[in-house]
Amino acid sequence: MDYFAQQLINGLTLGSIYGLIAIGYTMVYGIVGMINFAHGEVFMIGAFIALIAVLSLFALGVTAVPLALLLALVIAMALTGLWGWAIERLAYRPLRNSFRLAPLITAIGMSIALQTFVALTQGARSKPLPPVIRGGFTLSEGNGFAVSLSYMQILIIVTTVVVMAAFSYLINSTSLGRAQRACEQDRKMAALCGVNVDRTISLTFVIGAALAAVAGLMFLAYYGVIDFFVGFVAGIKAFTAAVLGGIGSLPGAMLGGLLIGLIEVFWAGYFTAQYKDVAAFSILAIVLIFMPSGLLGRPEVEKV
Amino acid sequence: MKPLLTVRGVETYYGAIRALKGVDIDVFEGEIVTMIGSNGAGKTTLMNTVCGDPRARSGRIVFDGRDITAMPTHEIMRLSIAQSPEGRRIFPRMTVYENLLMGALLGPGDDASIKEDLATVFGLFPVLERRQGQRGGTLSGGEQQMLAIGRALMGRPKLLLLDEPSLGLAPLIVRQIFSVIRDLNRTQGLTVFLVEQNAFHALKLAHRGYVMVNGQITMSGPAAELLARDDIKAAYLEGGVHA
Ligand SMILES: Nc1ncnc2c1ncn2[C@@H]1O[C@H](COP(=O)(O)OP(=O)(O)OP(=O)(O)O)[C@@H](O)[C@H]1O
Ligand SMILES: [Mg+2]
């Protein structure tokens, strides 16, 4: 039981990170119908910007860890958002009306270009961040196994809940969110209602990138080390999460993220760590056989 | 009368196909103008060209004194043109209420005006009030048509573009919708450009009419005169006089 509780906590932590990245995949798919394969790299860039920001803030004498993390979060969200904006503007928008595979191929190219860019400018070796938040609670002890909940894990889960609540409010209850959903459902009609469709699409990339930056900072703080390749694996997991939850569905992305995180951690905890990725993908395959549009996705036919 | 919409020599292409072949249209403030024509004549294309999608390849479109020929769609609409488009295009996964709020983007935008306009629309189409929380995609065809018109009215447009509001509706509902349009025109001076297959009703409602054939205007004049012409009766009113 204790072991189970521990895996649950670890799984939720990892799932939070996947969920935040998955939202970016699902939102972009929803509004422009493409898989942004470079989104994993946007997450990686977010983590790098966060790392540089934290270290710079420490160097500048901002030694209060909560303040430094908060500032780094804001900086990473803003600058990564800018990257998201630029990627859409330069690489995807010119191809928006071309044949369907063009943006897909461009996204793969963009992904490689961003990895290479970071490897060249930051070096290929992994970059450590000294542990910034130590300690935690010991929830229960006994039978020789202690369940611990670190402050870091609490911070990650709480931040994710707050960010997702704010994000859901933005999408469901503000006129900006309504415009976003309108573009997703009928771009032409949205324009006829006076919505600036190009700007709304840009904004979608910016929001997705900013959420990926939140995940990037959390990943960095949790694992304490990043390199130019972290976006690849995390990106594929988050993409899997988005498909599992139902691509295009925002609650689906959050749910899918949590599930992938849990599956991975539980598999590694109870079976073997080597096969944790196989487990996640197998479950995805099984779900898709029985629910082709994912757990919370809507069937393709309903698309009017 | 002040010209509100002026279309001059407009040509629109779909690839190599010339769908509009030099169209001239005038809509003056306070008028109801209709355009009739058979399937594929180019009526929807004209309405959409006014809204900038597709764009006119040549010619000029002026709205309220401004050249809108090259403007992006959302900017044209923000000059206060609202369209209830062919096929209704209700946002299927938004509620009736949210669909109406989308229409309000073209209006003044403050809470008080939105509330007032909601009350007006619910007054015209009480069924929408009862279905406020229902998803647009699950409404019946007639309800969707009312919602499309209601959504357009939420923007307090200077010019209301209606593309076949009677399509697929029972005669009773058609009459109801047309009488709403007539009332708005009389009481508030709303200017309306109406595209219709249902030529009889449209010409009864409108002040002036145009006939489009194959991307060109072939006839125009006061609606009553067009309605009386034998060639129009033969071409567009056969079986249409059922009211
Ligand atoms: N997106 C498009 N691509 C290619 N051709 C098109 C497109 N839209 C319309 N057309 C063609 O342009 C012509 C005019 O079409 P339009 O929709 O304007 O006709 P309409 O008068 O509105 O007809 P209806 O009364 O059936 O709605 C038709 O021949 C149609 O096939
Ligand atoms: Mg038409």
pLDDT tens digits, one per residue of A229-266:
999 999 999 999 999 999 988 999 999 999 999 999 99
Which residues are paired to B27 by β-bridges? B5
| Segment holding B85, helix H or strand E | none
Q: Which of B45, B166, B195 to mutate to test the pocket of ligand 1 (most atoms within 8 A of CB)?
A: B45
Identify the three-state secondary structure at position B28.
Answer: strand
pLDDT digits (tens, 9 = 90+) for A282-293: 888 888 898 888
Q: Does A197 touch chain B (CB under 8 A)?
A: yes
The mean per-residue pLDDT over the stretch A35-48 comes to: 96
Would you say residue B241 has pLDDT above 50?
Answer: no
Is the distance from the beta carbon of residue B19 to the nearest atom of ligand 1 less than 6 Å? yes
Q: Which amino acid is at A73?
A: L
Would you say residue A299 has pLDDT above 70?
Answer: no
Other beta carbons within 10 angstroms of residue B242's beta carbon come to: 8
**Predicted local confidence at residue A136, as pLDDT:** 83
Q: Does A179 touch chain B (CB under 8 A)?
A: yes
- CA A100/CA A259 separation, integer angstroms: 30
Taking all residues of chain A, what is their mean pLDDT, rounded to a whole number? 91
Q: Concatenate the DSSP letters of all residues of A16-30 into one string.
A: HHHHHHHHHHHHHHH
Which residue has tokens 């044949």?
A99
CA distance B60 to chain A (A): 20
pLDDT digits (tens, 9 = 90+) for B47-103: 999 999 999 999 999 999 999 999 999 999 999 999 999 999 999 999 999 999 999
Nearest to A237 by CA among A82, A11, A6, A9: A11
**Predicted local confidence at residue A300, as pLDDT:** 58
Which residues in chain A are contacts of B89 at CB distance < 8 A?
A: 186, 188-189, 192
**Predicted local confidence at residue A287, as pLDDT:** 86
- CA B7/CA B36 separation, integer angstroms: 17
**Predicted local confidence at residue A33, as pLDDT:** 87
Alpha helices in B12-137 (DSSP H): 43-50, 73-78, 96-103, 111-124, 126-130
pLDDT digits (tens, 9 = 90+) for B3-27: 999 999 999 999 999 999 999 999 9
CA-to-CA separations, B147 to B91, B114, B243, in angstroms, rounded: 10, 15, 24
**Predicted local confidence at residue A145, as pLDDT:** 77
pLDDT digits (tens, 9 = 90+) for B148-167: 999 999 999 999 999 999 88
CA-to-CA separations, B88 to B105, B144, B149, in angstroms, rounded: 18, 7, 9
The mean per-residue pLDDT over the stretch A22-43 comes to: 93
Would you say residue A212 has pLDDT above 80?
Answer: yes
Confidence of residue A130 (pLDDT cuts 50, 70, 90): confident
**Predicted local confidence at residue B243, as pLDDT:** 38
Confidence of residue A204 (pLDDT cuts 50, 70, 90): very high
**Predicted local confidence at residue B34, as pLDDT:** 96
- Bigger pLDDT: A274 vs A59: A59
Chain B residue with CA closest to A303: the answer is B92
Which residues in chain A are contacts of B98 at CB distance < 8 A?
A: 178
**Predicted local confidence at residue B197, as pLDDT:** 84
Q: Specify the fold of A1-125+134-290.
A: ABC transporter involved in vitamin B12 uptake, BtuC (1.10.3470)
Query: How do the domains of chain A map onto residue ranges?
Result: 1-125+134-290
- Ligand 1 centroid–CA B17 distance in Å is 10
**Predicted local confidence at residue A3, as pLDDT:** 84
**Predicted local confidence at residue A304, as pLDDT:** 40
Nearest to A215 by CA among A33, A48, A92: A48
Q: In what order do the strands lie in the sheet with B159-163?
A: B81-84, B159-163, B191-196, B32-36, B208-213, B216-222
**Predicted local confidence at residue A283, as pLDDT:** 84
Task: For A142-161, give one letter per residue: b (16+ CB within 10 A) or e.
Answer: eeeeebbbbebbebbbebbe
Nearest to B192 by CA among B159, B234, B218: B159
**Predicted local confidence at residue B238, as pLDDT:** 64
Q: Which amino acid is at A172?
A: N
Measured between its terminal Cα atoms, the distance across chain B in Å is 32
The mean per-residue pLDDT over the stretch A296-301 comes to: 71
With a pLDDT cut of 90, the percent of chain A lying above it is 68
Query: How do the domains of chain B map onto residue ranges?
Result: 89-157
In sign, the C-alpha dihedral spanning B7, B198, B146, A298 is negative
How open is the CA angle B153-B154-B156, to the nearest 5 degrees? Answer: 70
**Predicted local confidence at residue B72, as pLDDT:** 97
Do B85 and A192 make contact, defined as CB atoms within 8 angstroms?
Answer: yes
- Ligand 2 centroid–CA B41 distance in Å is 8
Alpha helices in chain B (DSSP H): 43-50, 73-78, 96-103, 111-124, 126-130, 141-153, 171-188, 199-205, 223-228, 230-232
Which residues in chain B are contacts of A185 at CB distance < 8 A?
A: 91-94
Taking the CA of residue B54 as reference, the ligand 1 atom at the shortest distance is: 1
Taking all residues of chain B, what is their mean pLDDT, rounded to a whole number? 93
Would you say residue B242 has pLDDT above 70?
Answer: no
> Quick check: bond before A130 cis, omega within 30?
no
Do B89 and A195 make contact, defined as CB atoms within 8 angstroms?
Answer: no
Confidence of residue A278 (pLDDT cuts 50, 70, 90): confident
B237 with B204: CB under 8 angstroms? no
Confidence of residue B240 (pLDDT cuts 50, 70, 90): very low
Is the distance from the beta carbon of residue B42 to the nearest atom of ligand 1 less than 6 Å? yes
- Ligand 2 centroid–CA B61 distance in Å is 20
pLDDT digits (tens, 9 = 90+) for B174-216: 888 899 999 999 999 999 999 998 888 899 999 999 999 999 9
